[in-house]
Amino acid sequence: MAPLTPSTGQIVAHRGWSTARDALIAAVQAGPGIVALLGPAGTGKTLLLHDVARALQAELPNVLLVDRGDAVPDAEALQGAVLIDEADRMDADALANLARRPDLAVVLAALPAFADRLAALPGAAIVTLGPIDEAEVPRFVAERLVQLGYAPDLLTLSAITALFERSGSVPRLLHTLLGLAVFAASLEGAERVGPEDVARAVLFRDGEEVAAEPPAIDPDVPELAPEPVALVAIAPLAAATPALRRRRWLVGAFAVLLICIGAATALLRHSPAGPPAPVAPDPDAAPASVATAEPAPQPPAPAAPTPEASPPLASAVAGPTLPSGSMIRVVLSYPMGDPGAARRGADVARQLRAEGVTVGEPVPVTPRVNVPSLLYYFTQDRDGAAEIGRKLDGRFGEATFARLPRHSALPRPGTIEFLLPPSEP
C-alpha cells in the first residue's frame, strides 16, 4: 500500500517551499556541514526532501536519501551527501557520529522540537518549512484543483477563505479538506464548492457527520457484492464534455474522498502518526514519541532499544512476571550546557536503574524554567510517577500531570518524564 505522503510528482509549490528548497540545495552544494529542515507535521518535509534529493542526485555523485532516522547506515560507511527524513528518530550516538564526519553534507528533516538537539551540533544551520502564506492560498488551491482534474475556479472565494481558516494553511490538511469539500459539494449537486461544503468537509474529517438510517448490509454475501473499484485517474477537464465533466466530478470526488479519509483518519484526527510507528522513549523535550505516517503492511522496526536491557520491571517482582499495569519508563533530561546537571543526571539514572527502573540515557535539552521536574501524561501512570518520586527521596517535588495538546503525538503508556533542574549558580 502506498505511503500516505503523496508522490512528489504532485507537488504544488508555494513560496516557503521554494525558498526552503533553494536553501537546502545551496547548503549541500556549498560543501560539508549539517543543515536541518524543520517544520510541523503536514507541511511537506518528506516531499521536499525527496525533491531536493532528486535535484542533487542529478548533480552530485554520492547522494543518499534515508527514510527514517533510526535506519541510518553506520556513519563510517557514508560519503558525499546524506539526507535523512524523520531525523527525530536518530539516537544521540548516531547524531554525534554524523557530526564527527567533517567531510559529509547532511540534511536532517524533523519536527520543530528537534531544534533542541541541534544546539549540541556546532555550526548546524536550520531551514524552516511552514504553512502557506494566506495570499498564496487561492493560487495553491487552483493549482491543486487542476492537478485533480477540476476547473481551477471550482471553489468560491469564500470557500477558499474558509479552507484557509480551517486548515491553518498546512498543506496536507488543506489537501484533505479540499478533497472532502469537493465531495460534499458533489453530493449536493452543486456546480461550485462553497464555504458550507468546507464546513461539511471538517465534519467528515472529524467523523461527526451523523446520519439517519441504521444498517442494511448483508454481510453474508461478500463475494457476490459489487466488486470494489480501483482508484480512478482523473483526466484534465479541458477536453471533457459537460456530461463527462459531471461524471468525472462525482467519480473523482469519491476517489479523492477515499484517499483523504485514509489520510485524515490516520494523520489528522488521530495525531500525525500512522500505523505502527515504533515508539521509544524520546530523549527530547516533551516525551511525545516521534510519530510519522506509514501504511500498515510494512513491518515496523522494533522499538528502539532501551539504553540497557530492561531490568525486572518496576511494577513487577523479580522474574518475568507480566505486569498488569503499564511498564514505567523514565525519560531523563537535563539543561543543556550545564555540566553539573549532566553529572547529576547520570547519577540519578544509575540510582533508578539500580532500583529496577527503566531509564533512558540522560539527554540535554534547552533549559526550561518553572517546569515541574517529574511529569506523567496518563491518569493511570500517576502511581508510577509517585513511586519514582519516592525513589528520588522527594528531592524533586511531587509528580505532576502534564496535559498534552490535542493532535500532539502520544507518548508511550507508562512514560514518566524527569527534567533535572539547573545547577545552583
Partner 1 sequence: MTRRLLALLLLVAAPAAPAPADDGQRAFDARRYAEARHLWTAPAEAGDAQALLGLGQIEEGGRDGPADPAAAATFYARAAVRGAARAAYRLGRLYAAGTGVPRNLEQAEAWFAAGAEGGVTPTAQDRAELRRRSRPLAGDPDDLTAALPVAPAEDAAIPRSSGEPVVELVWAAPPQRAPARFFVEVVAVEDDRLRDVFAGYSDRSALLAALDPTASDYAWRVFVVGLDTPDYVASPWTRFRVASP
Residue closer to partner 1, measured from CB, 72 or 162: 72
Give residue 421's region: left, alpha or beta (phi > 0; psi -120 to 50).
Answer: beta
Note whether 292 binds partner 1 by CB under 8 A: no
Q: How far is the CB of 73 from partner 1 (least distance, A)?
A: 7
Who's near 338: CB < 8 A, 6+ residues apart?
Answer: 367, 422, 423
Note whether 226 binds partner 1 by CB under 8 A: yes
Note whether 297 binds partner 1 by CB under 8 A: yes
Cβ 48 vs Cβ 24: under 8 Å: yes
Note whether 289 binds partner 1 by CB under 8 A: yes
Residue closer to partner 1, measured from CB, 21 or 248: 248
Give me 344's grid cell.
547529576
Q: How far is the CB of 385 from partner 1 (least distance, A)?
A: 12
For residues 158 to 197, the per-residue mask of contacts with partner 1, x marking binding by CB under 8 A and - elsewhere, is ----------------------------------------
| Distance between start and end Cα atoms, the chain | 56
Cβ 348 vs Cβ 332: under 8 Å: yes
Residue of 61, 102, 319, 405 that binds partner 1 (CB under 8 A): 319
Residue of 102, 242, 299, 425 that binds partner 1 (CB under 8 A): 299
Which of the 8 DSSP states describes residue 111?
-
Q: How far is the CB of 227 from partner 1 (least distance, A)?
A: 8
Closest among 305, 410, 287, 308 to 357, alpha carbons compared: 308
Give me 88's grid cell.
527525530
SS3 for 7?
coil
**Count of Cβ atoms closer than 10 Å to residue 75 Cβ:** 18
- For residues 158-194, one letter each, b for 16 or more C-beta atoms within 10 angstroms of the residue's C-beta and e for the rest, the string is ebbbbbbebbebbbbbbbbbbbbbbbbbbeeebeebb
Q: How far is the CB of 269 from partner 1 (least distance, A)?
A: 6
Residue of 25, 121, 258, 336 that binds partner 1 (CB under 8 A): 258
Residue of 61, 228, 405, 425 that binds partner 1 (CB under 8 A): 228
Q: How far is the CB of 343 from partner 1 (least distance, A)?
A: 27
Q: Using alpha carbons only, how large is the chain's radius of gyration in Å?
A: 25
Residue of 378, 387, 417, 420 that binds partner 1 (CB under 8 A): 378
Note whether 249 binds partner 1 by CB under 8 A: no
Note whether 215 binds partner 1 by CB under 8 A: yes
How far apart, in Å, are the Cα atoms of 229 and each of 148, 149, 178, 222? Answer: 18, 19, 22, 14
Q: How far is the CB of 146 from partner 1 (least distance, A)?
A: 23
Residue of 377, 385, 420, 421 that binds partner 1 (CB under 8 A): 377
Give me 93's grid cell.
550516538
- Tally of residues, the chain: 425
Q: How far is the CB of 7 from partner 1 (least distance, A)?
A: 13
Cβ 103 vs Cβ 40: under 8 Å: no
Note whether 302 binds partner 1 by CB under 8 A: yes
- Please tell me the distance from the alpha carbon of residue 327 to that of residue 325, in angstroms, as a whole number: 7
Residue of 157, 229, 235, 371 that binds partner 1 (CB under 8 A): 229
Residue of 32, 33, 112, 312 that binds partner 1 (CB under 8 A): 312
Note whether 400 binds partner 1 by CB under 8 A: no
Give residue 368's region: left, alpha or beta (phi > 0; psi -120 to 50).
Answer: beta
Closest among 411, 389, 391, 394 to 402, alpha carbons compared: 411
Among 20-28, 45-53, 311-319, 387-395, the segment contacting partner 1 (CB under 8 A): 311-319
Q: Which of residues 125-164 bind partner 1 (CB under 8 A)?
A: none
Written as one letter, the residue type at 34 is I
For residues 379 to 398, the per-residue mask of contacts with partner 1, x marking binding by CB under 8 A and - elsewhere, is xx------------------
For residues 328 to 367, the per-residue mask of contacts with partner 1, x marking binding by CB under 8 A and - elsewhere, is ----------------------------------------
Note whether 322 binds partner 1 by CB under 8 A: yes
For residues 73 to 112, the per-residue mask of contacts with partner 1, x marking binding by CB under 8 A and - elsewhere, is x---------------------------------------
